[in-house]
């Protein structure tokens, strides 16, 4: 077994399960080296935590060794942090040295603190112009990161933080920038608007952070990000965090980062098992009924349901409201102020179910979410990883359930490879399961009511008097009165489900083929596969992604072109956000002088189509129209 020791302000020993070609790597805190590549498994977290629990004050004791300011350590203590997570333990020492860094770790692992704490510690209190710029792919993530910076800088009165994103008052952002801001956290589009208008002065910028860089690539922001980087001072520190490392992200790290330290956090052991992942097979017409049954059977503290489009999220929410659920929608049609209120309601428990599109839910961080339901399968494995990362946060456990139709089952293997573990099958909950759960919840409610109401109140006295009077008038026993009260409590819907269960039974003889092909059975009942999976690989298509050619695209014309200085990334980003779809759902884009053509999935709801007509790209309405390819 090879032992790798990393020496920095925090010292921990890491013993990987597999041997490495590097016998020993030593990183002194006072030296720069050309390249540092550190790979850590979750066992490192255990070792670091134990090695730092000796004779120190337990209040943020693990963070005290990094050389952070006393004011920052006070904020860390108030936040409740005691020991750094693996990404924090590896990244903070490097960033304190001022090095460029590429960090790869899943969501919910403490990445924001990993870069926010050291960058705050190295700020110049006398510089009023922005010293740190953080680029994030969505408004929600920008607000979340800005809030974290403000929390960590609570005892640094000279530090001001401003989130900058579309949908917020532009003039208010200008006024706040004029008063002096040290940290700007924003989406690429709005940051570019301020830079072009001269309202965001980045001449004194010291650090650029790209947070969730892979998501910015997937949402079509790569050209905007590179434009922003090219306008920044040549002498700057660049920090790049990403859950995955696509080719374009690797290219950015090579072109714009100077001898960066590379840190990869591999999730194994307890980290990988925090989220229980299951799938159920259901035909498309029965998905809403299956969803209601799953919610009846799974007692989740907070639930996020992912739908593919805005229209689907509305349909799901309306169906759940009819069955008595407290539910809210988060998609591209929801105003920013309403989004923030919705997330806060979920965080406080005012609502328990949130139905969202991928774009709207990026960066959503609510600890009480215990269940994620993929009502629609995501269009690639990276999106699946991000979705299920909304639960099991802050060291908690969580559940993730994936709905699959028979036509989608060939994609299961790709998702399993992405998460590095099998996804367990589950059955749609039966009537018996639902009925037993309802009885259990009613039992718990009654026991809880009896145990919590120790002293009688005036209201209870009135209720007792009412029961006594009815009992005397009708000569009813106490048990009969209690039964009548329970029937009133569970009405108007019956307590027990009595519906048809035939559709719950899986089709006989259907086994999942995880090779990418479609199974067939010969006369002897043996399964054979066609060459579909092989042909996909020969065509260079990713086995774990949906292909746009599989989805029968429609061809559209939009009224923006080269003369409007439009780029494919501008079109993809705008349409993906407005339609609530992933960028990879969008097919071929061709840009001409005064118009462009684009392929989008068939079946676009009319409401979405109408909203795209008036969507502006480069300050010009798309005026989208369908085209006939046969002409």
Q: In this predicted structure, what is the pLDDT of residue 534?
A: 35
How far apart are the C-alpha atoms of 219 and 61, rounded to whole Å?
39
- The CA distances from residue 144 to 7, 161, 329, 353, 372, in Å, are 32, 12, 19, 20, 20
**What is the arithmetic mean of pLDDT over 566-573?**
84
186: burial class by Cβ within 10 Å (0-12, 13-18, 19+)? buried
Q: Which residues does 181 contact at the CB level (< 8 Å), separation at least 6?
A: 128, 129, 130, 160, 161, 162
Q: Residue 355: left if φ>0, alpha if ψ -120 to 50, beta else—which one?
A: beta
Q: In this predicted structure, what is the pLDDT of residue 466?
A: 83
- Residue 259 or residue 13, greater confidence: 259
For residue 51, pLDDT over 50 is answered with no
Q: How is 136-154 classified by DSSP, letter by letter?
A: -SSHHHHHHHHHHHHHHTT
How far apart are the C-alpha atoms of 325 and 310, rounded to whole Å?
19
**What is the arithmetic mean of pLDDT over 198-218?**
89
Contact at 8 Å (CB) between 135 and 226?
no
For residue 403, pLDDT over 90 is answered with yes
Q: What's the pTM value of the predicted model, to 2 decimals?
A: 0.53
- Residue 103 or residue 324, greater confidence: 103
- Residue 400 or residue 23, greater confidence: 400
Q: In this predicted structure, what is the pLDDT of residue 5?
A: 32
Which residues on neighbouring strands pair with residue 266, listed in sequence order? 41
How far apart are the C-alpha atoms of 191 and 231, rounded to whole Å?
12
CATH of 548-627, one of 1.20.200.10, 3.90.1150.10, 3.30.70.330, 3.30.70.260: 3.30.70.330
How far apart are the C-alpha atoms of 117 and 156, rounded to whole Å?
12
For residue 263, pLDDT over 70 is answered with yes
Q: Which CATH class is domain 274-429?
A: alpha beta
Contact at 8 Å (CB) between 62 and 10?
yes
Q: Which of 92-101, 294-303, 323-332 has the highest mean pLDDT?
A: 92-101
Contact at 8 Å (CB) between 275 and 388?
yes
Name the residue ranges covered by the structural domains of the chain: 30-269, 274-429, 548-627
For residue 3, pLDDT over 70 is answered with no
CATH of 30-269, one of 3.30.1490.100, 3.40.50.2300, 3.30.450.40, 3.40.50.300: 3.40.50.300
For residue 429, pLDDT over 70 is answered with yes
* Banded model confidence at residue 363, pLDDT cuts 50, 70, 90: low
Q: Which two tokens stand for residue 495?
A: 């307590």
How far apart are the C-alpha atoms of 618 and 571, rounded to whole Å?
9
Contact at 8 Å (CB) between 519 and 528?
yes
For residue 323, the tally of other CB atoms under 10 A from its CB is 13
Q: Do domains 30-269 and 274-429 have the same CATH topology?
A: yes
Query: Mean of the per-residue pLDDT values for the chain?
Result: 76
Q: Which two tokens stand for residue 200?
A: 């965001």
Q: What percent of the chain has pLDDT over 70?
A: 74
How far apart are the C-alpha atoms of 272 and 266, rounded to whole Å?
9
């Amino acid at each position: 077994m090879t032992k790798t020791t990393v020496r920095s302000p925090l010292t921990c020993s890491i013993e990987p399960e597999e041997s490495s070609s590097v016998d020993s790597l030593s990183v002194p805190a006072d030296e720069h080296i050309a390249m540092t590549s550190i790979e850590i498994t979750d066992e490192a977290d255990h070792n670091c935590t134990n090695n730092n629990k000796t004779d120190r004050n337990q209040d943020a004791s693990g963070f005290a060794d990094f050389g952070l300011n006393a004011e920052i350590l006070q904020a860390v203590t108030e936040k409740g942090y005691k020991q750094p997570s693996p990404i924090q333990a590896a990244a903070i020492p490097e960033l304190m040295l001022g090095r460029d860094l590429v960090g790869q770790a899943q969501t919910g692992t403490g990445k924001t603190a990993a870069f926010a704490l050291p960058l705050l510690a190295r700020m110049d209190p006398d510089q009023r112009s922005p010293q740190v710029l953080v680029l994030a792919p969505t408004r929600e993530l920008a607000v979340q990161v800005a809030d974290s910076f403000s929390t960590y800088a609570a005892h640094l009165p000279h530090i001001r933080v401003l989130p900058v994103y579309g949908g917020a008052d532009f003039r208010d952002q200008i006024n706040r920038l004029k008063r002096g801001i040290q940290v700007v956290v924003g989406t690429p589009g709005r940051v570019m608007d301020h830079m072009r208008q001269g309202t965001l002065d980045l001449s004194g910028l010291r650090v650029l952070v790209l947070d969730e860089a892979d998501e910015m690539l997937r949402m079509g922001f790569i050209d905007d990000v590179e434009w922003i980087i090219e306008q920044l001072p040549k002498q700057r520190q660049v920090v790049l965090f990403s859950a995955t490392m696509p080719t374009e992200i690797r290219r950015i790290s090579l072109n714009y980062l100077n001898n960066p330290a590379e840190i990869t956090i591999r999730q194994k052991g307890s980290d990988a098992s925090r989220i229980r992942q299951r799938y159920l097979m259901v035909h498309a017409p029965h998905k809403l009924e299956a969803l209601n049954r799953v919610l009846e059977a799974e007692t989740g503290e907070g639930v996020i349901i992912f739908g593919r489009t805005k229209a689907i999220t509305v349909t799901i929410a309306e169906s759940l409201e009819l069955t008595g659920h407290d539910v809210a929608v988060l998609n591209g049609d929801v105003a920013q102020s309403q989004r923030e209120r919705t997330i806060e309601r979920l965080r406080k428990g005012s609502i328990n179910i949130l139905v969202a599109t991928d774009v709207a839910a990026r960066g959503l961080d609510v600890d009480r979410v215990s269940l994620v339901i993929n009502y629609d399968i995501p269009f690639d494995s990276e999106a699946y990883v991000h979705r299920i990362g909304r639960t099991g946060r802050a060291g908690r456990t969580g559940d993730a359930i994936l709905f699959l139709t028979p036509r989608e089952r060939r994609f299961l293997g790709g998702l399993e490879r992405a998460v590095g573990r099998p996804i367990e099958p589950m059955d749609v909950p039966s009537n018996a399961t639902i009925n037993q759960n309802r009885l259990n919840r009613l039992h718990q409610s009654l026991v809880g009511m009896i145990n919590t109401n120790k002293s009688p109140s005036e209201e209870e006295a009135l209720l007792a008097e009412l029961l006594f009077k009815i009992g005397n008038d009708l000569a009813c026993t106490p048990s009969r009165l209690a039964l009548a009260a329970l029937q009133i409590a569970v009405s108007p819907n019956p307590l027990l489900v009595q519906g048809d269960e035939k559709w719950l039974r899986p089709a006989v003889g259907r086994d999942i083929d995880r090779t990418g092909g479609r199974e067939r059975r010969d006369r002897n009942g043996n399964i054979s596969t066609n060459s579909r999976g092989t042909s996909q690989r020969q065509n260079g298509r990713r086995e774990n992604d949906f292909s746009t050619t599989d989805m029968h695209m429609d061809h559209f014309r939009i009224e923006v072109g080269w003369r409007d200085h439009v780029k494919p990334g501008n079109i993809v980003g705008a349409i993906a956000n407005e339609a609530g779809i992933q960028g990879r759902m969008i097919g071929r884009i061709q840009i001409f002088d005064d118009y462009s053509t684009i392929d989008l999935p068939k079946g676009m709801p009319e409401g979405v189509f109408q909203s795209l007509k008036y969507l502006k790209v480069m300050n010009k309405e798309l005026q989208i129209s369908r085209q006939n390819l046969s002409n």
